[in-house]
Structure 1
């Protein structure tokens, strides 16, 4: 355990040194103590940048009870956070069933404030009949926001600030950071050449825009599959080939999902793909690619390494699945996730939004809502100063 702790401490020290916005917030929170007497329950990717966020909340007086997301937990980070006195559950090798037990344990700890990713905690709190004990929280993702506004609509008596509604996050984290990290992860995992390759991106939201942008910057040929007419219009004017996924299945060599919705790449789509097609997912939940159908049709499965699986299908074709259909930039080989600067921005949004929940919940409404405008503008000013863009 000491070796894990030491490795986690070294990694987190480096990353902490590159996150000046959170460093300032830590100093401010230590003085203001906005979370004194509060228990923050978290379900979010447990990697070094998240550790810096939790340090900031703890400096503000929060008691932390946390777990990661399925398949992305980094064990050295868990060891370090436990060494700081935080209650942190989960490991890299957890099964999906164990992950669900971890989430249930966070809920059983009766948190006052939720730091959620995919709305797992919010859904569990509602199902357990414990919603009245929560004063509010945040939600990080598009996938979670969709759940809050569909299956959980009208069921949350407390405010939930959707970080992914922030235009700052959309530009800085989703477009540029996710775009960069997904492309970098595919390159690192597969060692495939991007220039001249044929890439199909399912979804032209902010993440899809970024993935397409960075693939094209490397010389890739990019097509977009988008069911929303306005987004498809935008993709066409941005110079991409735009078509239905069914019509792009035979053209593409690498397929990346970035929609937040289940069942995007179905068995029928996979049946149209050429031999050797590569499948990767950039969405929060591992449901955008129908992995179960792919496995059900397989004649043989070969794990080439921890993030590459060859699936041999009838008729002599094979498909390559990356990271088991989980988030390719966080569940793949030697995962790095989004850039440090983008997460400094994104986690400052989290920190100040959670502070608003803790200190002024009456200014918010029940249910899902965007980041307050004054927080957005304050963070924009701080980020520009930190970049030195005003000099």
Structure 2
């Protein structure tokens, strides 16, 4: 076990307590922990990781390490929780990075992961996959997983045909869509909005940009607490669904002067452009729930900003050239892991999500069928038998089948 710097002992103990609570409520991963300890499917494997480092992630890494994996990894920009890093390091799990890391620091952390020459990837946003391809080392990777919509889009877009190893896209799982994206993101976004801004939801006018699974959940939970919710969605079928679900549906240009809070939920760049922001009412709040900080056009916004005021480290006031001001949450980064004491998605939803991760990584190593064949190269969904196994386990855990 790694020796702990006495100066970090308090941080380690804080992380230990937080992880212990989470671990005690992740029933499915507890079962898998024992299975992996017995079978050690990752013995001799080095897993390179880039995920949000928070207590639930720590439990996943413990399970993988117990299955024989050597882990070298870092967090995502702006969401790393220092006490969790300190605790994991005290347990000999090779993670690094800080909450205060700049974007340049984050890129250096990613390079450090790749320098360690992992042979499997636990990726979020396809940053590691892109780095492996850029370095010409893709052939050395056995396979891995990708967590997000944004990463799946990159694997099927800019990285299409360049990834000769299987990358199982967790976001393609219906369990991820329902359990994590709709219900957990919906819950955590609303909780984070209340915690960070301390504003009232009932009667407030919200515009949710995007009506995918995350947008559905955000809209549902805002309305459940009394919010007046409209949806901006360019896909005709999703727009129709939002209308049939009872939401006001209109182009962003029409909703810009109406809404008081705008929440992006698309995974796509520039969906909230500067021209829409300048048309908003004075004091509008801008927040992003997507993985990458590119959904709000912060560069275009900077060009029409005359001055900025840091309000409390998470909220920033931007005074615009037209005399109005807007409030930007978490500098446009994913805000449900921002602010003081961020919680993120619910424990139970991440028990599902990290079971998907762990069993998909095991499938990459062990293969399936009589011949033990591994998944094909490239981005692909979670195998159906894994989805169904987890669904049965979760139903049993919830007591829903009784």
| Structures share fold, TM-score greater than 0.5 | yes
Q: Which among 223, 231, 235 is matched to residue 228 of structure 1?
A: 235
Q: Which among 319, 325, 332 is matched to residue 332 of structure 2?
A: 325
Kept in 2: contact 1:175–1:207 (CA 8 A): yes
Question: Per-residue displacement from partner, 1:320-379 (whole Å, max 9, x unpaired)?
Answer: 011111011012332100000000111011110111011118331100000000000000
Partner of 1:366: 377
Q: Which consecutive segments of 4 or more residues in structure 1 shift more than 3 A?
A: none
Deviation at 1:245, TM superposition (A): 0.8
Q: For residues 254 and 333 of structure 1, what CA distance do their matches in structure 2 show?
A: 21
Unaligned runs of 5+ in 1: none
Q: For residues 379 and 173 of structure 2, what CA distance do their matches in structure 1 show?
A: 13
Deviation at 1:246, TM superposition (A): 1.1
Partner of 2:305: 298
Q: Which among 24, 36, 44 is matched to residue 29 of structure 1?
A: 36
Q: For residues 245 and 92 of structure 1, what CA distance do their matches in structure 2 show?
A: 33
Q: Trace 1:230-379 onto structure 2 (pairs within 5 A).
A: 230-360=237-367, 362-379=373-390
2:87 counterpart of 1:80: yes
Q: Which among 46, 59, 63 is matched to residue 56 of structure 1?
A: 63
Kept in 2: contact 1:113–1:358 (CA 8 A): no
Deviation at 1:290, TM superposition (A): 1.0
Q: Which among 3, 18, 33 is matched to residue 11 of structure 1?
A: 18
Tell me the secondary structure at the aligned position of residue 363 of structure 1.
Answer: coil
Question: Per-residue displacement from partner, 1:120-164 (whole Å, max 9, x unpaired)?
Answer: 000000000000110000000000000000000111110000000
Q: For residues 87 and 349 of structure 1, what CA distance do their matches in structure 2 show?
A: 22
Q: Trace 1:37-116 onto structure 2 (pairs within 5 A).
A: 37-116=44-123
Q: For residues 333 and 13 of structure 1, what CA distance do their matches in structure 2 show?
A: 20
Tell me the secondary structure at the aligned position of residue 131 of structure 2.
Answer: helix
Q: For residues 169 and 332 of structure 1, what CA distance do their matches in structure 2 show?
A: 25
Unaligned runs of 5+ in 2: 1-7
Q: Which among 157, 161, 164 is matched to residue 168 of structure 2?
A: 161
Q: For residues 145 and 187 of structure 2, what CA distance do their matches in structure 1 show?
A: 25
Kept in 2: contact 1:67–1:89 (CA 8 A): yes
Q: For residues 383 and 283 of structure 2, what CA distance do their matches in structure 1 show?
A: 46
Partner of 2:3: none
Partner of 2:214: 207
Question: Per-residue displacement from partner, 1:275-310 (whole Å, max 9, x unpaired)?
Answer: 000000000000000112222322221111121111
Kept in 2: contact 1:111–1:134 (CA 8 A): yes
Partner of 2:132: 125
Q: For residues 250 and 340 of structure 2, what CA distance do their matches in structure 1 show?
A: 32
Question: Per-residue displacement from partner, 1:11-40 (whole Å, max 9, x unpaired)?
Answer: 000110010110111000000000000000
Q: For residues 362 and 67 of structure 1, what CA distance do their matches in structure 2 show?
A: 31
Tell me the secondary structure at the aligned position of residue 35 of structure 1.
Answer: coil
Partner of 2:199: 192
Partner of 1:385: 396
Partner of 2:9: 2
**How many residue pairs get matched?**
391
Q: For residues 253 and 334 of structure 1, what CA distance do their matches in structure 2 show?
A: 25
Q: For residues 35 and 295 of structure 2, what CA distance do their matches in structure 1 show?
A: 40
Kept in 1: contact 2:365–2:374 (CA 8 A): no
Task: Name whichever of 305-314 and 217-226 sits farther off.
Answer: 305-314
